[in-house]
Each structure stands twice: as C-alpha cells, then as structure tokens.
Chain A
Amino acid sequence: MTDTVHPLTAHERAHESAESRRGFLLALPAYLYLLVFFALPLAIVFVYSFATRNRTGGTDLSGWNLDSYGRLGDEIVTRVVMRSFGLAMVTTIVCLLLAYPFAYFVSTRRPAVRGLLLVGVMIPFWTNFLVRNYAWRVLLSNDGPVSELTQLLGLGETRILFTQTAVVLGLVYSFLPFMILPLYASLERIDGRLVEASRDLYASSWASFRRVILPLSRPGAIAGSILVFVPSFGAYVTPAILGGDKKPLLGSYIVSQFLTARNWPFGASLSAVLIVVMLSATLVYFRAGGRNL
C-alpha cells in the first residue's frame, strides 16, 4: 500500500482505461452467456413467483401479489423442506466422514500415487450421471446383487430401494468427489514441519492431528460441505430414481408444482426461497470459517 496518491498523468489514465477496456472485452462472452442463460431465467422465476395461477392452470402475470409466499408456511411445505434439509445434512456428514480419511491418505502418499488416486476419484464422471443413478437402482433392487448377497449370507432380502436410505446412498455416491477434492487440496497444502513442530512440543500423534491438521484443513471441509450440501438440498434426479414418490423432497415437490399441479407461481416462489436461503447459508458459513483461517 502507498500512503501518497499521485495524480495520474493523462497518458497514464489513457493507458489504464485501455487496460480495463481490454479486460472487459475478454470477459464479455462469459458475461453475455451468464446474462442470457442464468440471470434472465432467474429473473423470470422471481417475476413468476409474484404472479397468480388462473383457473386453467396458466399463469396470470397481471396483478402481482404475495399469495404464493403465503403458502410457504403450509404444513406439507414445512415437512418437505425439513425432510430435504435433514437428508442433505446426513449426506453432507456421511460424505465428510468418508472423504476425510481418504483425502488424508491421498495427501500423505508420494506425488505419483496421489495423481493415480485422484484420477480414480474422477472416474465416475466419465459416465453419465443419470446412467449411474439407474445403475444403483439395479444394484439395490429387491432381486439385485446386493440383495442376493445378503440372502446368501442369511441376512434376508434387502429392501432399501425407494427408501430414504437409498437416496442418501445415491447422493453420497454422486457428491463424494466434491468433498474429497477440496479436502485433499487443503490437506496437501499443510506444511509437514508444522506437524513435526507439534510433535516436538509434546503433542501425541492424535493431539497433533486434532490441534494442527484438523483446524488447518477446515477451509477444505467448509468448501466441500457447501459443494455437497447445496446440490443435495435441491436434488431432483437421485431422489426421483432411487427414492420413489411416497415421501417427496424439495426438488421433486417443486417439479410437481410446475408439471402436475400446474401452479407455476407457487413453484417459482419455492425456488426463489430455496435460492435465497442457500445463498445466505453459504455466505454465513464462509464468514464463520474465514475468520478462523
């Protein structure tokens, strides 16, 4: 930081504005893309959330009101939201517990082995998301391989397809890499000498982990948790394929408002609230973590 601000010469000013113009031009395609395919649809969702459903299931854009938002307190909505929230929390925690030891293991390998293991983490991405979810449906079905195995072991038939357990299983499977990668990145950055220093200062290996590695890997745990929680909360595909429809989650509930109930304003208001809640949760989470980094 400089304490004195020198007035810029005309020449310098021209140079700076040319620089910023070039930067803007480079970013323009991305801006345009985001504007047309992200900001605009989002704005439409917000606009529709204030509209009214007419008798034929169409949407009346005149006469804005907050009626749709008024329905958010309905018991069914609260139940769906709480269920989705709980499921997303469980998914996030399970991912964290599974990913942490693995990421730690990877970060302590030789660089060549690390690369190999990380490629392994990415392999599932080579197959379509939908296909992978259907694969789980085959695996978990009442006469699928998992069930056959438990029968062979005398544990009886496995009946977890179309339950919340199956949904959590599918979500954990889908989002685990998003937890592993940021965790690995932050663990890999930790200076090994800090661990040695803690050992030299009378920390047992467990204390050294708890007092040094764990706090220093927190940024990765936070980033990973957000990357898993946010898509889990609003997940649609996995619950639709593995969860059946007896206990709807937020994602499928919103979809049903658009496609089945044909109440676009209500679906839009649910979406709007979901976006706002997740955005603020993310901000709070980052702030809380950021202060202690």
Chain B
Amino acid sequence: MSTPAVEFSGVTKRFGEVVAVDSVDLEIADGEFFALLGPSGCGKTTSLRMIAGLDLPSEGSLKIHGEEVGPLPPNKRPVNTVFQNYALFPHLTIADNVGFGLKMQKVDKAEIGRRVAEAIELVQLGGMERRKPTQLSGGQQQRVALARALVNRPRVLLLDEPLAALDLKLRQGMQNELKALQREVGITFVFVTHDQEEALSMADRIGVMGDAKLLQVGRPEEIYEQPVSRFVADFIGRSNFLPGTVAGDDAITLANGAAITGPTTGRSAGTAVDVSLRPERVRLEARGAAPADRPSIDGVVRTATFLGNAMVYSLGLDWLELEARIENRPSQARFAPGDEISVWWRDDAIAVVDGGR
C-alpha cells in the first residue's frame, strides 16, 4: 500500500483536564473519502482541527503524506478546510475569497485569475465573482467555501460538518455533488459529521468516534453489519439489544434461556454479551408459524405504526421490548396490537457485542 494521506499514531489532545481525543491510531488512504462520525463532543472536530493545524496534538505523531506535521502551523500544511458555517471573509468579494489562499502563497496575478475562474466554474457559481458573501444563499456560500479550499489543490481536503447548515433538500443534493466532485478532483476528503446517513451514503470508509476514542473503522457496510460495540450499533442506525452469555464457540444463551448461534469471535464461555438485531432483520410470524428448525421467541404486538413503505411494530416479549420493521409487500401479513406472534431471525442477521453498557 502507498503512503497514507493522513496517519495518526497514538494522538492525544487534552484541553486542560479534558481529554478531547484519546490515543487515536488511524490511517486514511490517498484519494479516499473518509468520514469521521460521532455524536457532538466525541472529538471528531478536534481530530480534524489537528490535521489542519488549528489545534496541536498533546501527544503522538501526525503525518500527512508521510511527513510529520505535529508542530507545523496551519499555513505550512498541504491541507485546506471547508469550515462549518463556511467562515467566508465578509469584506471580500467571492473572487477575492476564492483567490485568498493563492494570493497568500504569492502565486502570480494572471495565474490566480485563471485558477479562481476555474474553481468558480467547478462549483457552478459563474457570474457571482463580484458579489459579497452576504449576497449569496446558504447553498451558494457552501460552494464558495468549497472553491476557496479546492483552488489551492490541497493534498487533503478537510470538511467540518459542511452540510449541517443547509436545509434537507439542499443537503441531499449537495451529498451527491460532493461525492461526484471528490471523484472528479481525486483529492483525499476527510469529512466530519454527526449524521450517520450522510456518512453511510458518502464515505468510502467511516471512523466512528465516541467519548474521545476511535471505536471502529471500516466500510459503511462493515460498520452497519458488524458493529464492534453496543455504542456503534446504537449510533449507526437503530438496533435491538438482546442480553445473553457466551455458551461456547459461536453459541449464545439468551437471557430467556433460548440457545442461538452467532459469531462470538473468541469470547470465552460465560462472557456477558448483547446480541444486536436490527429492526429490519426481525422476522415476524403469527404465533407458531415460525420455521420449526429455528429458535423463535413468542410475544405480543404492543403497537403497530404505518409508515407507508413499512410497518414498525413494538413487540412485547416476556423479558424485553423489541422493535421490528417490516417492509410493506402485497403478500405481507399485517398485525394489530394484541396479536400473538413469534419472532425469529437468520443467523447472519445478528452481531454480537460486549454486554452491559
């Protein structure tokens, strides 16, 4: 593999007593669209700011294309940032905003003019060059921020929740555009977001952060299908957690006594685990109609919610509540509150995570 675009080794950032980023190891490949995902305050923005040089690591090493950048100030790094809320210079025109970085690098005037025009064209803002940022809409300001960063041809583009300030419709459009843009320019994108759908739909790989730690790194499918912890499973999409204990290799006994099969990945017998079961993976049948060769659990429908393309049921099992999401197909049986049902799932529908909280 070639040199990673960004490499964290044991990076820790403390603000006084508070640990914002806790010994993170991470490699982001060249040309990758990488999302740092997590709830607010998890350290994802601080991690991004350390790549930019706006915060410096307290410990550890941070390399960009193999070069140690730990103590370098932001203006000496081959990266540019698209800031949350854009941070456009209000006293400069759009063209001067976009040309700012080139001017600071003392690129000659004609070259600046050419590249600024090119960048403005790239984000489809032709004709807006002489306007001030306040005369543009939120979506247009977003494009200016993108052009202002990309015009410098950074080796890594950092994006700090760039879509958070846009309304839903615009956000979805920009998701596709950003993705297409990244393919077109071929630059490594590192993208910070708290929106799991955004991360899943745009990123090549996702790093999930929680409580200052990097919890899991993987392709969107991996993160979704094989979460390593209850936190990750809960943060990415929705999930039910069935408490149990490991009974042997790939054998789990649920808290109600049911024996099931699931990937225990080397955990020793007796370890407390949670079985993560996504609502859409729950199979629902009338009581007794579940396949006889599968373990099934009996329960009662508590509520049934019609969502158009699906039904969402809240199911009362003896020992816990379970959420099930069943696609609406013509042949699909519907249930009503009070109906007696049986629940089952395929072996590959579940993930096993460490038990408790």
How far, in Å, is B318 (CB) from chain A's closest CB?
Answer: 54
List, in ascending order, chain A residues with CB within 8 A of B54's CB: 196, 199-200
Bound complex: CA A289 to CA B87 (Å) = 23
- Closest B residue by C-beta to A201: B101
Task: Tell whether, in the assembled complex, residue B90 and residue A216 are in contact, meaning their CB atoms are under 8 Å apart.
Answer: yes
Bound complex: CA A215 to CA B88 (Å) = 14
- Closest B residue by C-beta to A216: B91
Interface size class of B (residues with CB under 8 A): 20 to 34
Task: Tell whether, in the assembled complex, residue B105 and residue A202 are in contact, meaning their CB atoms are under 8 Å apart.
Answer: yes
Query: Which chain B residues (134-176) contact chain A, with CB distance < 8 Å?
Result: 148-149, 152
Mask for A193-220, Cβ within 8 A of B = 1, else 0? 1101111111111010001100110000
List, in ascending order, chain B residues with CB within 8 A of A292's CB: 91
Say if the beta carbon of A293 comes within 8 Å of chain B: yes
Task: Tell whether, in the assembled complex, residue B87 and residue A194 are in contact, meaning their CB atoms are under 8 Å apart.
Answer: yes
Bound complex: CA A292 to CA B152 (Å) = 26
Query: Which chain B residues (40-79) contact chain A, with CB distance < 8 Å?
Result: 52-54, 73-75, 79
With A193-B83, A196-B74, A207-B104 known to touch, is A201 a contact of B91 (CB < 8 Å)? no
Task: Tell whether, in the assembled complex, residue B104 and residue A201 are in contact, meaning their CB atoms are under 8 Å apart.
Answer: yes
Task: Tell whether, in the assembled complex, residue B80 and residue A193 are in contact, meaning their CB atoms are under 8 Å apart.
Answer: no
List, in ascending order, chain B residues with CB within 8 A of A201's CB: 75, 80, 100-101, 104, 148-149, 152
Interface size class of A (residues with CB under 8 A): 20 to 34
List, in ascending order, chain A residues with CB within 8 A of B105's CB: 202
Say if the beta carbon of B85 comes within 8 Å of chain A: yes
Query: Which chain B residues (189-233) contact chain A, with CB distance < 8 Å?
Result: none
Say if the beta carbon of A19 comes within 8 Å of chain B: no
How far, in Å, is B81 (CB) from chain A's closest CB?
Answer: 5
Query: Which chain A residues (41-56) contact chain B, with CB distance < 8 Å?
Result: none
Say if the beta carbon of B89 comes within 8 Å of chain A: yes
How far, in Å, is A31 (CB) from chain B's closest CB?
Answer: 35
Say if the beta carbon of A191 comes within 8 Å of chain B: yes
Bound complex: CA A167 to CA B342 (Å) = 95
Task: Tell whether, in the assembled complex, residue B104 and residue A193 are in contact, meaning their CB atoms are under 8 Å apart.
Answer: no
Bound complex: CA A191 to CA B54 (Å) = 15
Task: Tell whether, in the assembled complex, residue B104 and residue A203 are in contact, meaning their CB atoms are under 8 Å apart.
Answer: yes
How far, in Å, is B153 (CB) from chain A's closest CB?
Answer: 12
How far, in Å, is A107 (CB) from chain B's closest CB?
Answer: 17
Bound complex: CA A196 to CA B187 (Å) = 22
- Closest A residue by C-beta to B84: A193
Bound complex: CA A191 to CA B84 (Å) = 12
List, in ascending order, chain B residues with CB within 8 A of A198's CB: 89, 100, 104
With A200-B52, A200-B80, A201-B80 known to touch, is A194 a contact of B89 (CB < 8 Å)? yes
Bound complex: CA A207 to CA B75 (Å) = 11
Bound complex: CA A191 to CA B89 (Å) = 10
Listed from nearest, the 10 A-B pairs whose CB atoms lie closest are: A201-B101, A202-B104, A197-B87, A193-B87, A199-B74, A202-B75, A203-B104, A200-B81, A215-B91, A200-B74
